[in-house]
Structure 1
Amino acid sequence: QLPLGLLTAAQGHPMLVELKNGETLNGHLANCDNWMNLILKEVVQTSPEGDRFFRLPEVYIRGNNIKYLRIPEEIVELVKEQQQNQPQNRGRGGYREGGRGDRGGRGGRGRGRGRAAGVDIRYELALEWNENQ
């Protein structure tokens, strides 16, 4: 929630993006998606060595190539305030709807290999391991 919330709040603001290959891109965030793919406008691209600069009108950055993002501090503070003001809808089930029976959060449906408790499974695995030794 937090990283994507930060990115959506940062739309229209300047940011620095460092890529895994060492290049840096400075521009204004135009758009982002759930995979952290970004579109920057008015971009200055810097080579990994820092000796070459390119001015580009628009750049698409695939999220898995991003190493580092620098976002203005006021955006970070704004998102922190928004998240503190949101009601916490977390029941026993974890982070989703909460409560019982909704399959949200931890421990969804079954328990794996048809047993009711994890102790039986560990015992069974130990027996299998001993037989194979």
Structure 2
Amino acid sequence: MLPLTLLHTAAGHPMLVELKSGETFNGHLVNCDNWMNLTLREVIQTSPDGDKFWKLSECYIRGNTIKYLNVPEEIVDMVKEDESRQRHQSGRGRGRGGGNYNNRGNRGGRGQNRGRGGSNIGTVIGARGGNQQ
């Protein structure tokens, strides 16, 4: 499971963000970009000592300042379900057989020692694959 996939799924849900400085932010995730910069709404900010609190309507948190993210377990379950559904769907439509031989009888590429001089074992492997020319 990729962290950005998890964060994109968590949009609109509550989460806790702890910064490297020790400050914490509790709010609803609005947006996340590729650098893990976050925008939160309805935020409660807590000082590093935990003795001061601020209520913010919206805040922007730079991704490289984040130490820890706490996302609801239901979001993690949603991402797991989506990933398993995508794996299941990508397995359909491939047909029977399998293998990645590029219809050439060898294993893709140049084969062993082909083009290096000395041995023609790449050609032998190609002939054994059933594609006689």
CA offset at residue 2 of structure 1?
1.4
Runs of 4+ with deviation above 3 angstroms: none
Cα distance in 2 between the residues matched to 1:22 and 1:4: 22
SS in 1 for 2:87: coil
Cα distance in 2 between the residues matched to 1:63 and 1:2: 15
TM-score (norm 2): 0.65
Q: Deviations over 1:28-69 (max 9, x none)?
A: 000010110000000000000000000001000000000000
SS in 2 for 1:27: strand
Q: Which residue pairs with 2:20 in the alignment? A: 20
Aligned-residue CA RMSD in angstroms? 2.2
Q: Which residue pairs with 2:131 in the alignment? A: none
Cα distance in 1 between the residues matched to 2:14 and 2:52: 21
CA offset at residue 85 of structure 1?
1.5
Q: Percent identity?
A: 65
TM-score (norm 1): 0.65
User: 1:21-100 counterparts in 2 under 5 A?
Assistant: 21-87=21-87
Cα distance in 1 between the residues matched to 2:26 and 2:73: 16
- Count of matched residue positions in the alignment of Structure 1 and Structure 2: 94
Cα distance in 2 between the residues matched to 1:50 and 1:17: 14
- Mark the runs of 5 or more structure 1 residues left unpaired by the alignment: 90-98, 101-115, 117-133
CA offset at residue 6 of structure 1?
0.5
Cα distance in 2 between the residues matched to 1:87 and 1:56: 40
CA offset at residue 87 of structure 1?
2.9
